[in-house]
A and B are shown apart, each in its own frame.
Chain A
């Protein structure tokens, strides 16, 4: 899958040279007439002890350390930057193909009012990202940056054009596929002068993305060029907003879709309304065969060229993240509705400060499909009704959250969640039960003094399937005001196997000042799945110390 080394050295040397000169000149963030340097870094380390009870594996090197450091230099219209990454070795759960060190990202950029050109690595998104989005997510271990050229043009006020070409990052190499795309956006209110005063704002957009990969599959006549196109419209009027995007992708047989040659389609719509004290939001999506990778043999999160819309809320409480939803690129359709409002202060439920209420419901089902017997001929695989709803439920979630401030020093959040989680579909398992879970959270913040804060959470996860029920307790104390200590315990008290009714206890302590933060932890980590926006990675069980250090300047 890999092709060339990601670091073409001349560009690295040029960029490193610019950055080095800037440091030599001043050694400060703001350089006298020589631009500005900004950066950030993070170091994460973990020690590992094998623990057969929780399934923590034996890690031969006993400790892993990984780090990234970003430096960005800006001087007028010129900017350049690098990101250096080290994985010695990659932490458990990250792909071991990251092991090693090197410059993983470097770019140089020129910007003026009409032209914005980037050479090297860059991240870009067309519309909602359904046919093109490159991004970096350090927690997920995903980096699909494009290495090539990006051109952004503003030929006229209200007209925005982007064009990109390059290869994607594939760990320490690059993917074999060539990615190229163009996106245009017209802001009608900016384009037509007399419309600037209109309350209704209309933005139209359209994009086209294509990938090239030399066909090399002995069993199928693979398309060398696979294209996808999308159109979108965004209308806003006061507190009302409506966005919709439709995407279409031609035959793109891949390891993800089982080498089916059917086209892909995606539709995402979102309407929101907000005014003082209340907001409403409604989203719908339909995804069919929309995995789009620059290498048709890639699986998992490798070499994704796009990002599919994600309906459910990004949960923050521990129990609500036990079974997170992962977007199903081969097919799903879903709805999501949310309302947020405030019960006025001075009322029975509003109390002295008012009560914020957030209610959200989302449901995702399979496509309504009819299987075709054509795997030896046209390999379309199935037909589906565009507006039909499949019978298989993938996911349901109801969340009700109340936030209430009892006094200037004390506030609480109460949350109830109900979740239906189809394990076989979401985790690609066979014969596992669908999980029906009821969850409750009580979260409290007490500002004991001006510099001391106590944060306590009590959480319950009730289910009868799989590992059964859990209780989670969290206590954090901030003092000093830069120091903090905390303890978290996840107790699987309802596990049907009495020997696996385990406490996963973690203790943390740390120091924060400005953008600097250091955290030391010790304890057991439960095996699970981390998902951000529907993109997931496995978190293996672990037992040991962790150290995290972050800094920005």
Chain B
């Protein structure tokens, strides 16, 4: 219908003539709406155990080598906090192990803990420092649980260092008994001793990584107990640790903005994040456990949140510096000094 023909109509005729066009337009919108929309009634992917694998091939697959798996590796834990003025001294004690002849035998975890030393402080908490100084809270549930059990840094203070969670003072109460600092031992002493023995377990890690936007991490952890003892139970803990974080640290009352933090515990993947891991079968046969990790928010390293300034620390995980750390520990009915002792540790750079 052209414009000229309208001029010969009254309003009613024009309206009725156009009602068809308007109706057609509304219908077209309705068709578009129904065809351009996917309604989802079952949002959550259901699967047994772990997350289903993405349908696309992984961006990268990597694994620990057989040679590496055969080494005895000790788990060295450094319980620390950014407001712990003496903690850098403990880290310095560990540094030579990371570069020494037995560098391949150390698996380090820096565990931030305690309210006093580890909390993330509100802005403007420190006179003369930028308002975000010491704002990041690196503590997680697993680290808090470990601290309460092994170090008790809230009462004993920090730093606290352990090698394979051996107790050096079996008579000590909860916490403190395996803290090398409290027992005045240099970390290299038990480290050299423990890594000179043959491994009692081995851990092989295969990881598959999907780059953003899929942001998915899958891992197969194959554990072999060489000589499981009757009555003991064995557990596997799998976590993520981020190396080379530069952030604030009190070092003997000097505020250092670009202090290098090594292998900071970020996330425990299994055992519901408690830190106590998943139980292993009492067998010498290899046993493989499959784990996944996906958290779109955490793995969007280059994305800031919609409003600023960002919440920290979760926004700033650097996955390029991230390691999978796995270790096997035992629980013994006889208790200390070998209860919770770590038998083997392993790590794999993502």
Cβ A218 vs Cβ B54 within 8 A: yes
Interface membership of chain A positions 211-246, coded 1 if the CB is closer than 8 angstroms to chain B and 0 otherwise: 000001111111111110100000000000000000
- A220 to B304: give the CA distance in the assembly, Å: 23
Cα–Cα, bound, A176→B56 (Å) = 15
Find B18's partner among A180, A191, A301 (CB 8 Å cutoff).
Answer: A191
Interface residues of A in 157-205 (CB under 8 A from B): 157, 159, 176, 180, 182, 184, 186, 191-195
**Structural contact, A255 and B300, CB atoms closer than 8 A:** yes
Chain A contacts for B3, CB-based, 8 A: 156-157
Q: Which of B11, B54, B300, B311 contacts A299 (CB 8 A)?
A: B300
Q: Range of interface residues on chain B?
A: 35 or more
Stretch in B36-44, B61-69, B94-102, B267-275 with 4+ CB within 8 Å of A: B36-44
Most buried by A among B33, B43, B123, B294: B43
Of A157, A256, A496, which one neighbours B306 at CB under 8 angstroms? A256
Q: Per a CB cutoff under 8 Å, which of B10, B29, B44, B124 touches A500? A: B124
State whether the Cβ of A352 lies closer than 8 Å to any Cβ in chain B: no
**Chain B residue with Cβ nearest A180:** B36
Q: Which residues of B contact A186 (CB under 8 A)?
A: 22
The stretch of B143-151, B209-217, B219-227 that contacts the partner chain: B209-217
**Interface positions of A from 536 to 551, Cβ below 8 Å from B:** 536-538
Chain B residue with Cβ nearest A291: B306
Within B108-154, the residues touching A (CB, 8 Å) are 122-124, 127-132
Which of B28, B33, B40, B52 sits near A218, CB closer than 8 Å?
A: B52
Residue on B nearest A376 in the bound complex, by CB: B44
A283 to chain B, nearest CB (A): 23
Which residues of the partner chain B approach A251 to less than 8 Å between Cβ atoms? 38-40, 43
Residues B45 and A299 in contact, CB atoms below 8 Å apart: no
Q: Kindly list chain B residues whose C-beta atoms are within 8 Å of the C-beta of A192.
A: 6, 11, 14-15, 18
Q: How far is the CB of A253 from chain B (nearest CB, A)?
A: 7
Q: A55 contacts which of B25, B26, B55, B130 (Cβ < 8 Å)?
A: B130
Is B51 an interface residue when CB atoms closer than 8 A count as contact?
Answer: yes
Of A180, A217, A220, A428, which one neighbours B307 at CB under 8 angstroms? Answer: A428
Would you call A378 an interface residue if the criterion is a C-beta within 8 Å of the partner chain's C-beta atoms? yes
Q: A208-B32, A255-B297 are in contact. Are A225 and B45 (CB under 8 A)?
A: no
With A216-B54, A218-B52 as known contacts, state yes or no: A226 contacts B37, CB within 8 Å. Answer: yes
Closest B residue by C-beta to A297: B213
Q: A326 to B307, Cβ gap below 8 A?
A: yes
Q: Mark A39-76, 1 if CB is under 8 A from B, else 0.
A: 00000000000001101000000000000000000000
Cβ contacts B265-300/A at 8 Å (1 or 0 each): 000000000000000000000000000101011001
Tell me the residues in window 293-350 of chain B with beta carbons closer than 8 Å to chain A beta carbons.
Answer: 294, 296-297, 300, 302-311
What residue in chain A is nearest B55 (Cβ atoms)?
A216
Q: Which residues in chain A, 250-302, are within 8 Å of chain B measured between CB atoms?
A: 250-251, 253, 255-256, 259, 261, 295, 297-302
| Known contacts A208-B29, A497-B124, A536-B307, A255 near B14 by CB under 8 Å | no
The reply to whether the CB of A210 lies closer than 8 angstroms to some CB of chain B is: yes
Interface residue? B7 (CB, 8 A): yes
**Minimal beta-carbon separation of B151 from chain A (angstroms):** 27
Q: Is A1 an interface residue (CB 8 A)?
A: yes
Partner of A225, one of B36, B296, B300: B36
Kindly state the separation between the CA atoms of A359 and B214 in the bound complex, as whole angstroms: 50
Q: What residues on A are CB-neighbors of B257 within 8 Å?
A: 52
CA distance A529 to B310 in the complex (A): 12
CB <8 Å contact, B306 and A428: yes
Q: CA–CA, A538 to B123, complex, Å?
A: 17
For the complex, give the distance between the alpha carbons of A496 and B42 in Å.
52
Known: A219-B44, A299-B305, A431-B122. A176 touches B213 (CB 8 A): yes
Assuming the contacts A251-B40, A428-B311, A499-B128, asked whether A206 and B26 have C-beta atoms less than 8 A apart, the reply is yes
A518-549 vs B, CB cutoff 8 Å, 1 = contact: the mask equals 00000000000100000011100000000000
Asked if residues A302 and B294 are in contact (CB atoms below 8 Å), the reply is no
C-alpha spacing A224/B41, complex, angstroms: 14
| Max chain A Cβ within 10 angstroms of own Cβ: one of B212, B257, B303, B311 | B303
Give chain A residues whose Cβ lies under 8 Å from the Cβ of B51. Answer: 218-219
Judge whether A97 is part of the interface by a CB distance below 8 angstroms.
yes
In the complex, the answer to whether B130 meets A223 with C-beta atoms within 8 Å is no
Q: Which residue of A lies closest to B303 (CB)?
A: A299
What residue of chain A has the Cβ atom nearest to residue B28's Cβ? Answer: A182
Chain A window 446-482, contacts with chain B (Cβ cutoff 8 Å), 1 for yes, 0 for no = 0000000000000000000011000000000000000
In this assembly, does B53 line the interface, its C-beta being within 8 Å of a C-beta of chain A? yes
B113 CB → nearest A CB, Å? 20
Query: Is A348 among interface residues, defined by CB-CB distance under 8 A?
Result: no
Tell me, in angstroms, the Cα distance from A253 to B42 when the chains sit together: 12
Q: Given A297-B300, A299-B304, check contact A226 B292 (CB 8 Å).
A: no
Residue numbers in A under 8 Å from B292 (CB-CB): 218
B144-166 vs A: 1/0 string, CB under 8 Å? Answer: 00000000000000000000000
A253 to B26 alpha-carbon distance, docked (Å):
27
> Is the Cβ of A210 less than 8 Å from the Cβ of B32?
yes
Q: Closest CB-CB distance, A435 to chain B, in whole Å?
A: 13
- Measured between alpha carbons, how far is A135 from B127 in the docked complex, in Å? 43
**Within 8 Å of chain B (Cβ to Cβ): is A427?**
yes
Shortest distance in angstroms between B347's beta carbon and chain A's nearest beta carbon? 24
Which parts of A483-505 form the interface with B (CB within 8 Å)?
Answer: 496-500
Assess whether B39 is in contact with A223, with CB atoms less than 8 Å apart. Answer: yes
In the bound assembly, the distance between CA atoms of A256 and B307 in angstroms comes to: 11
Cα distance A125–B78 in the bound complex, in angstroms: 56
Q: Give the complex CA separation of A218 and B45 in angstroms.
A: 7
Which B residues touch A537, using CB under 8 A? 308
Which residue of B has the minimal Cβ distance to A263? B39
Whether A379 sits at the interface, judged by CB under 8 Å, is: yes
Contact pattern, A 410-445, Cβ under 8 Å of B = 1, otherwise 0: 000000000000000011111110000000000000
Neighbouring B residues of A426 by C-beta, 8 Å: 307
Assess whether B303 is in contact with A218, with CB atoms less than 8 Å apart. Answer: no
Question: B216–A220 contact, CB under 8 A?
Answer: no
**Which residues of chain B are near A497, meaning CB under 8 Å?**
124, 127
**Cβ-neighbour of B36 out of A227, A299, A377, A379 (below 8 A):** A227
Nearest to B7 among chain A residues (CB) is: A193
Bound state CA distance, A340 and B264, in angstroms? Answer: 59
Known pairs A250-B39, A253-B43, A300-B305 / 18 extra A-B pairs, C-beta < 8 Å: A97-B302, A156-B3, A182-B32, A184-B25, A193-B7, A193-B14, A218-B51, A218-B54, A218-B292, A221-B42, A227-B36, A299-B300, A299-B303, A300-B306, A379-B43, A427-B307, A536-B307, A536-B308
Q: Which residues does A use to contact B, with CB under 8 Å?
A: 1, 52-53, 55, 97, 156-157, 159, 176, 180, 182, 184, 186, 191-195, 206-208, 210, 216-227, 229, 250-251, 253, 255-256, 259, 261, 295, 297-302, 326, 329, 376-379, 426-432, 466-467, 496-500, 529, 536-538
5 A-B pairs closest in CB distance: A210-B36, A227-B37, A223-B38, A297-B213, A538-B308
14 A-B Cβ contacts within 8 A?
A53-B128, A55-B131, A159-B21, A184-B25, A192-B18, A207-B29, A208-B33, A210-B36, A210-B37, A220-B44, A229-B33, A329-B306, A378-B41, A429-B309
